[in-house]
Structure 1
């Protein structure tokens, strides 16, 4: 963590901004809270910044996430991290029937909530993801927004761990 605390703002945001999909503003705001005692402290600060953001900023962050199980090459905004994470859950290798089910649930979810379905795919498999999509369609919009932010926090924690491991390996 000593190395993280010595980074200048540009490098900190370059490294940790991708923890939050296309939303480096979370890392930019967290930077001012250094020094971080440890990785958990840094993650708590980033989570706090995400949750204290305006409703508009939170919705932009949620909407920055890709739709799950889109066919490869269809979504030019898909980050390398998202592509790797979706592949880890097998979402890049769906049968036509599974793809059709994802498509139908994604469409129903987007129609109801106006946001993409977000789940930490690295902590799930495609069956669990489909079950969660179905279950969460029963949520009201406010509950689902909070659930999406909770899932973004899980994604960010795993991404942070990966970034810190890469920094450690590089030293």
Structure 2
């Protein structure tokens, strides 16, 4: 993706802004729609700050709702080819698109356990991980309180 300067961001109309930033938070274009009204942004870090502030201002149920919008890692949506382009890129970068059958089964089991325990899917920045670290981190977080 090409870097964007803040003047370009600030000059975007509502539709363009939501088209560009609507999936910054997985499948939550409403957040981009709300952040648009906070223009002008002083810099890209200020823009990012507004996304975080919106999420932080939500009640816990709203924050959990955002998590529920995320797909399972290496889950059905990956297998069906229905992931967003961003999720597809992240999961491919983490090696989750090339798991063998045993690895897929193990991850599916962990995903199901996590969802059953917490009520939402396991979420992490897949682009910062790899195919061995994802199930390891998922297994570790199964034993953490929900706030972590």
In the other structure, the counterpart of 1:91 is: 96
Q: Where do 4+ consecutive residues of structure 1 move more than 4 Å?
A: none
Matched, 1:108 2:113: yes
The RMSD of aligned alpha carbons is: 1.5
In the other structure, the counterpart of 1:140 is: 145
Greater shift, 55-64 or 2-11, is seen at 55-64
In the other structure, the counterpart of 2:136 is: 131
| 1:1-171 matches, cutoff 5 A | 1-70=6-75, 72-74=78-80, 76=82, 78-141=83-146, 143-144=147-148
Q: TM-score, normalised by structure 1?
A: 0.78
Question: What is the alpha-carbon distance in structure 2 between the residues aligned to residue 48 and residue 27 of structure 1?
Answer: 12
5+ residue gaps, structure 2, are: 1-5
5+ residue gaps, structure 1, are: 145-171
Q: TM-score, normalised by structure 2?
A: 0.89
Question: What is the alpha-carbon distance in structure 2 between the residues aligned to residue 6 and residue 55 of structure 1?
Answer: 33
Give a deviation string over 1:37-65, Cα, whole Å, max 9, x none.
11111001111111112333322211110
Check 1:75–1:60 CA distance in 2 against 1; reply closer, same or farther (3 A cut).
farther
Aligned residue for 2:80, secondary structure, equals coil
Tell which has more relative contact order, 1 or 2 (C-alpha 8 A, sep 6+): 1
